[in-house]
Amino acid sequence: MFIIQMKGNIEFVFEMSLCYFIVTILFFSSSYGQEAPKVTPFSSLVKPVVGGKTSFTCQSLYGSPPLQVNWYKDGKEIGDSSFVRIKSHEDPSVLIIESVKSTHSGNYTCKISNRFGHDSYSTELIVEGSPNWIEKPTDIKSNYGETIKINCLVSGYPKPKVQWRRFKDSSWFNLPSDYISEYNIKQLGDDLIISNVNRDLNGRFGCSISNGIKPDLWAEFDVSIQVPAEFKEKNVAVSAKKGNLLELTCSADGDQPVTIKWFKDSTPIDKVDPSRYSITDAPNKEGTKSIMTVSSADVKDDGLYHCFAENSFGKDERKIRVTIIEPPPAPTNFAVQQVWSRTVSVSWSRPPESKTSILSYLIRYWKVSSTGVNDRLNEVNISSSLTLYFIKDLEPGSSYESTIIAINEVGLGVPSAKISFSTGEEEPTGAPVDLVVVSRGPTTARLAWRSPPKNTWNGKLIGFYVGYRLFDDYKTPHSFRTVYVGESNSSHHEFFLTSLLKGTKYSIIVKSYNSAGTGPESQEVTVETLAGDVPSSPRLFVSTATIDSITLGYSLPSNAANKQIQNLDLHFKEGDDSSWREMDFFVDSKEIGEYTLSALNPDTVYTVYLTASNENGVSDPSPIIKTRTSRSQRDNFANFGSIFDPAGNGQFGDYRDFVSILSIIIAVAIIIIVIVFAFVYVRKAQLEAETKPNFEFALASQTGTLALNKSIPNFGTERRFHDSDNTKPLMHGTMTLDHGNQYPVSYSNLPTESRHSKLVDPSHIYDFPR
């Protein structure tokens, strides 16, 4: 049994071995002589010449038939044509070019294949000649923002160069070969690539091809960028003040025609209130600009507005949020907390909340002069977080007014209630100026000066201190007299300094003071009193007045000085004239005399006064007298003609009755005038007997020219401040010795020492020498 099984296994193994051997024999017998082809390298048979003939022969070194041969030029398969013939058998295959051209230049490839595989070989055919088109560029249309690629393919040897150009501003210019950042243009090989195109690229382009062999090639094409309707800004918020013009603008870019439609809260504007809204469209080269206006904005114009733009290439939407707001209300409780000389603290409460928050506050303040005229307006802008502020750099002793305004994004709100305050005073910082001192006698000097510049008062001037001392006594301080100015608004001041020593030289200064203290002193001026006495003031009265003349009587007091009088000066002026005229006449050693002014105008007021002179100077003026010349008969008849009419029906009989009545009236009037003049003269004589004559007579409510002491030299000071605009008035005349000069102010304002000067406080320390 084992032997039988063993025998069976051996037979099986034998049979399997025999099968494997037979399969191997069959495999080797079928594979022998069958393989993939191998192409033999080749080139053109002759050197290519334009117009000549050339050919390529392609065959395989080995390979099992059947074989298939294919020809390619620059990667593209070619076949028989009018210029190329292919003679193909199984092997070899011949490609013949009958008439060589430059366009035949390129890489030629022969590919041989069978069912076992394939092989190829390439060679380059170079033909010198002018360039030829392979692919010519054409017009291009592109959408906004896209990337375009432009081809300009040519053949030829040497290899042609491509130059891209653009037509702009009536001329062609070359595009750089690398990159133009302005238009995102770059050149890649012979291709022109433009990325993210926009409307600026619209226009004509061209490519120029040259390889050094004529003719060159040139092609032009148009680039059109189609721009859809678009808003650059999609969402915006607008606020407008109630009652003001509301103007909304939507500017859409895009190719025309671009249409824009308006909506308010999703409702077309023309259906909301057509009469309220005005819409204006203005197409331009960029697109269309649409403006919607409301002449007077109101709360009902609040809302969300839409404008939709559309053209053939697209559409877009823009949203405008409109808020109608009003300026903020006025801050409340605006008040002064504390006042110093140059600073004031003010406080306020915030106004009620409005649609928009308060951005800042504006404090306005201005100086108020005593005449009620406001000075320059000052403004200061402060943070909205503050409710207390210090206003600085104010002028001391000055009155101010102020108000505060809240500001929001609309602008200024309503001003608050106005407040008033006055800063504290400081000592004056300016000295009196233009001090002039003139000797008026052996014991009297007349001072005239101007107030310091008003911006240096630092308050209200109460008066001045007049200081004096002996000129050569430098160790002794000045003694002072007080000059009170009171409510006077005059900038010019005068004072008589009396009880001086005869023929003595003095040093004089003046300084101002207010409630805070005393200011700096003026420049020092010297004066020397006269060595002799001047005459006393003469007395003057009117004797008679006619139509064209006035007879004046005078009397001279009898004393030693008056006995030395050399001449009298009569000063007079007509009506409201500002200038005085002067008549000189000699004294004939009489204490009483008359002088007649003639050639005067009838019915005219004349003002006169008299002064006397001796070798020491001029006396004080006599009292001023005003008198009037008589009227002419014609004037009298004109005044009374309507009552006493001789042409009437005999109310008063005839003309002789009228003359009689008129004579009686004139006589009565003359008697009354004489009585009045006599009373005035007697009363004035009584007053003069009771009171020592003034050293200087007061020209009450008049300004005019009084002759000064002719024998006294000029004294004075220069200005202590610079008046660049020449706006500050000088004294009304200069205190010189000529007859034609004027006093600065009327004599009625001249303070005099003791009886003739009014002092603020008789016990003031400045009133007594130290």
Q: What digits encode the pLDDT tens for the residues 713-729?
A: 333 333 333 333 333 33
Average pLDDT over residues 620-631: 88
Please state, in angstroms and rounded to a whole number, the distance separating the CA atoms of residues 675 and 66: 172
> Which of 391-400, 617-626, 641-650, 743-752 has the largest mean confidence?
391-400
Give residue 325's pLDDT. Answer: 85
266-286, pLDDT tens digit by residue?
A: 888 887 777 888 999 999 888
C-alpha to C-alpha distance for 309 and 313, rounded to whole angstroms: 11
Q: Is the pLDDT at 21 greater than 90, yes or no? A: no
626-636: average pLDDT: 79
- Residue 473 predicted with pLDDT over 50: yes
Task: Check residues 58 and 691 and name the one with the higher pLDDT.
Answer: 58
Residue pair 127/213 in contact by the 8 Å Cβ criterion: no
Give the pLDDT band (50/70/90) at residue 449: very high
Q: What is the pLDDT of residue 685?
A: 64
Q: 697 is written with which tokens?
A: 């007579």
The confidence band for 97, taking pLDDT boundaries of 50, 70 and 90, is confident
Cβ count near 517 (within 10 Å): 12
Side chain identity, residue 202: N
Reported as a single tens digit per residue, the pLDDT across 656-706 is 556 667 878 888 889 999 888 888 877 776 655 444 333 334 333 333 333
State residue 649's pLDDT score: 43
> What mean pLDDT comes out for the span 515-520?
94
Residue 650 burial (CB count, 10 A): 9
755 vs 263 pLDDT, higher one: 263
pLDDT at 739: 33
Per-residue pLDDT, 242: 83
| Helix (H), strand (E) at residue 710 | none
Question: What pLDDT was estimated at residue 550?
Answer: 93
Pairing of β 581-586 and β 625-628: unpaired
Cα 314 from Cα 331, distance rounded (Å): 52
Interatomic CA distance for residues 110 and 101, integer angstroms: 20
Amino acid at 112: I
pLDDT-wise least confident of 415-429, 645-659, 754-768: 754-768
Q: What is the pLDDT of residues 233-256, one digit of tens each?
A: 899 999 888 888 999 999 998 888
Contact 123, 108 (CB under 8 A): yes
For the ranges 135-144, 345-354, 463-472, 643-652, the lowest mean pLDDT is seen at 643-652
pLDDT at 260: 92
Please check whether residue 458 is in contact with residue 427, taking contact to mean a CB–CB distance below 8 angstroms. yes
Calpha distance 417→161 (Å, rounded) = 85
Q: Are 416 and 348 contacting, i.e. CB atoms less than 8 angstroms apart?
A: yes
Q: pTM of the prediction?
A: 0.41
| Confidence at residue 353, expressed as pLDDT on a 0 to 100 scale | 72
| Residue 262: φ, ψ to 5° | -110, 145
DSSP state of 41: P
pLDDT of residue 451: 94
Q: How far apart are CA 607 and CA 582, in angstroms?
A: 12
Q: Which residue has the higher pLDDT, 580 or 712?
A: 580
Q: Are 414 and 330 in contact (CB under 8 A)?
A: yes
**Residue bearing the bigger pLDDT, 211 or 51:** 211
- What is the pLDDT at residue 711? 34
pLDDT tens per residue, range 150-170: 888 887 778 888 888 889 888
Mean pLDDT over each residue of the chain, to the nearest integer: 78
| Length reported for the chain | 770
> Of residues 611 and 511, which shows the higher confidence score?
511
* 510 bridge partner residues: 466
Q: At what angle do helices 655-690 and 633-640 cross, to 10 degrees?
A: 110
- Count of H-run helices and E-run strands, the chain: 4, 52
pLDDT of 65: 84
**Average pLDDT rounded to a whole number, residues 400-428:** 92
Q: What is the CA radius of gyration of the chain?
A: 62
Q: Which tokens hold the place of 400?
A: 């101010």
For the segment 312-336, the average pLDDT, to the nearest whole number, is 90
Q: What does the pLDDT read at residue 319?
A: 94
Q: What are the distances in angstroms from CA 248 to CA 9, 267, 303, 356?
A: 108, 16, 12, 20
Higher per-residue pLDDT: 152 or 370: 152
Helical segments of 108-195, H only: none
pLDDT digits (tens, 9 = 90+) for 168-219: 888 998 887 766 666 677 777 778 888 888 878 888 999 999 988 888 899 9
Range from 251-260, 384-393, 549-558, 696-705 carrying the lowest mean pLDDT: 696-705
pLDDT value at position 690? 46
Q: Is the pLDDT of residue 141 over 50?
A: yes
User: In the prediction, which pLDDT does 380 show?
Assistant: 95
First to last CA, the chain: 175
Q: Round to whole Å and give the CA distance between 672 and 674.
A: 5
Q: Which two tokens stand for residue 704?
A: 């005019």
Mean of pLDDT values over 319-343: 91
Res 180: pLDDT: 67
> What is the three-class DSSP state of 24?
helix
pLDDT at 447 over 90: yes
